[in-house]
């Protein structure tokens, strides 16, 4: 709810309210769009939708409020300052007018000052202040409490470099982008409120991921990947805005990389802004720094080059042309559409690190591509679990997306995997033969090394063609009678030929 919070609304212990929205009166003027409920003003619409979505996500009758008066001649009341001190989270709606509003600055200062006596302004790397950027503003113009924070930008960058607020874009596309960004904000607020209440579970994440800065032409892809990874419990860095001075930037990035297991870099058509003191762009510097760490074997670096909608800037093309000289076991360059890369990435970050007696020799570098048809998903999942129990990293096919995306990911997996296991169950013999032939075709798709191990698992149902199935390209393991057929021949081959890696 907005306005005065209801008495039954919930907030973290020690606070009367969960969220206060600080905004300039000028930013709540009608923006000339009907959204199913008549004309709305920007802040009113955002706050109502934030409150509604926060209740859905948190499961509580969470209080969201703002001061609806906010007139220029109002006196900053003591009761408002007191209420700010009893609020868990502040959302600042940033715009040029917000920065020039004495009232808004007083609200921000009062909340920051009060936070020092109510648990502190930060919980770990997270701030109790959330920066919603309605209209672009220069970072060096933002007040100190806001400047280092990652913002939730409610506008997009157009091809000509201009910006446009989501709600002023052609609909329904602009509205979709608005609600996606709002959902990111809501989930992060809900998670922080849980942590303040002590309800947040502290299960270890599968991977700490450094998600490098992206240029405006691919920033939406970065947002999509960040959203997907965070929903799955992965810790994402950086958690603060990137420094604009080269020396500070390098220091901050090196620190983030030290605690990361994986770094992700999205290279679009644009080169990106350059920090003070370096001729390279910010994404280029992050790419180089992560590459140095990956070269030591302490980090896996994934570099994704999506299909470019237009010509690349010259400086960016030079960076991409040099990538082939850096590829290794720990530095991977992947080309193709978003869904293909996302599927590969999610397999990558879910890889289990083997421990104790379950680990096989050099298992952390062994990637097994488990090829199967959607109809065989259930037995394939059981097979995947058995492989992962041995400490192997298992990649699986894509079943959602266009035909081209499914094909591209299959080829990429054939190129990047160390071993291939084909499950032949409810599909046709022609399907199985095609997948076996792909073992040969992989070289033409860019594979440079032989597979360490290959096998075909014959699953149910038992039919005549399977009884006569034979290939010299792979081991054949019969799981028709025994679904838990021993994988020892495949694992022994993988271990034996992988020892020299």
**Confidence (pLDDT) at 353:** 40
Q: pLDDT digit string (tens) for 423-441?
A: 999 999 999 999 999 999 8
Kindly list the domain boundaries of the chain, sorted by start residue: 1-202, 203-350, 354-498
459-484 mean pLDDT: 88
What are the b/e assignments for 351-377, b being 16+ CB within 10 Å? bbebeeeeebebbeebbbbbbbbeebb
443: which 2 tokens?
């070289």
Which helix (H) or strand (E) segment is 182 a member of?
Answer: helix 173-197
209-233 mean pLDDT: 88
The CA-to-CA distance between both ends of the chain, in Å, stands at: 60
> What is the CATH code of the structural domain delimited by 354-498?
3.40.50.450
pTM beyond 0.75: the answer is: no
Q: Class of 203-350 per CATH?
A: alpha beta
Q: pLDDT digit string (tens) for 90-125?
A: 999 999 999 998 888 989 999 999 888 888 898 877
Report the C-alpha gap between 120 and 355 in whole angstroms: 38
Q: What is the dihedral of CA 80, 85, 90, 96, to 10 degrees?
A: 50
- The least confident of 200-209, 307-316, 339-348 is 200-209
**Confidence (pLDDT) at 15:** 86
Predicted confidence (pLDDT) at residue 217 exceeds the cutoff of 70: yes
**Confidence (pLDDT) at 499:** 52
Residue 422 sits at the vertex; the CA angle it makes with 389 and 300, to the nearest 5 degrees, is 55
**Confidence (pLDDT) at 361:** 37
Q: pLDDT digit string (tens) for 275-289?
A: 999 999 999 999 999
Q: What φ, ψ does residue 302 adopt, rounded to 5°?
A: -105, 120
Q: pLDDT digit string (tens) for 126-180?
A: 899 999 999 988 888 999 899 889 889 999 888 777 888 998 888 788 888 899 8
Whether 20 contacts 111, CB under 8 Å: yes
**Confidence (pLDDT) at 346:** 79
Compute CA distances 205 → 145, 233, 349, 385, 494, whole Å: 29, 6, 10, 19, 28
Out of 3.40.50.1000, 3.40.50.10140, 3.40.640.10, 3.30.70.100, select the CATH number for domain 1-202: 3.40.50.10140
| pLDDT interval class at 355 (50, 70, 90) | very low
Q: Do domains 203-350 and 354-498 have the same CATH topology?
A: yes
| pLDDT interval class at 294 (50, 70, 90) | very high
């Amino acid at each position: 709810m907005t306005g005065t919070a209801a008495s039954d609304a919930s907030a973290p212990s020690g606070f009367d309210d969960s969220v206060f929205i600080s905004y300039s009166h000028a930013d709540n003027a009608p923006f000339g769009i009907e959204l199913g409920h008549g004309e709305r003003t920007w802040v009113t619409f955002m706050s109502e939708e934030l409150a509604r979505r926060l209740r859905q996500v948190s499961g509580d009758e969470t209080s969201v409020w703002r001061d609806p008066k906010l007139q220029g001649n109002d006196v900053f009341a003591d009761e408002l300052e007191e209420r700010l001190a009893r609020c868990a989270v502040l959302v600042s709606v940033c715009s040029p007018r917000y920065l020039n509003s004495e009232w808004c600055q007083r609200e921000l200062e009062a909340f920051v000052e009060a936070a020092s006596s109510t648990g502190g302004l930060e919980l770990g790397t997270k701030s109790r202040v959330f920066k919603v950027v309605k209209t672009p503003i220069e970072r060096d113009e933002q007040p100190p409490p806001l400047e280092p924070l990652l913002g939730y930008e409610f506008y997009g960058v157009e091809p000509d470099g201009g910006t446009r607020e989501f709600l002023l874009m052609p609909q329904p596309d602009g509205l979709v982008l608005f609600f996606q960004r709002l959902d990111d904000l809501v989930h992060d607020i809900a998670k922080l409120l849980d942590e303040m209440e002590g309800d947040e579970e502290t299960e270890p994440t599968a991977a700490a991921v450094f998600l490098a800065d992206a240029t405006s032409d691919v920033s939406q892809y970065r947002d999509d990947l960040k959203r997907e990874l965070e929903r799955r419990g992965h810790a994402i860095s950086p958690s603060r805005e990137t420094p604009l001075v080269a020396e500070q930037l390098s220091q901050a990035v090196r620190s983030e990389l030290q605690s990361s297991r994986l770094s992700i870099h999205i290279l679009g058509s644009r080169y990106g802004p350059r920090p003070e003191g370096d001729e390279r762009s910010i994404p280029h510097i992050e790419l180089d720094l992560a590459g140095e760490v990956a070269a030591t074997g302490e980090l896996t670096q994934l570099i994704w080059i999506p299909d470019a909608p237009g010509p690349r800037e010259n400086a960016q093309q030079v960076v991409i042309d040099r990538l082939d000289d850096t590829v290794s076991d720990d530095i991977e360059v992947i080309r193709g559409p978003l869904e293909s890369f996302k599927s590969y990435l999610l397999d990558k970050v879910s890889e289990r690190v083997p421990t104790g007696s379950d680990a096989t020799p050099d298992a952390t570098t062994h990637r097994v591509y488990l090829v199967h048809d959607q109809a065989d998903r259930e037995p394939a999942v059981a097979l995947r679990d058995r492989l992962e129990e041995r400490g192997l990293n298992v990649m699986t096919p894509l079943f959602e997306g266009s035909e081209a995306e499914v094909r591209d990911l299959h080829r990429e997996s054939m190129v990047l995997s160390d071993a291939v296991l084909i499950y032949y169950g409810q599909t046709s013999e022609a399907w199985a033969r095609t997948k076996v032939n792909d073992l040969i075709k992989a070289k033409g798709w860019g594979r440079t090394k032989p597979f360490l191990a290959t096998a075909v698992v014959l699953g149910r149902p038992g039919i005549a063609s399977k009884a006569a199935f034979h290939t010299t390209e792979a081991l054949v393991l019969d799981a028709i009678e025994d679904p838990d057929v021993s994988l020892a021949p495949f694992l022994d081959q993988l271990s034996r030929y992988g020892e020299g890696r």
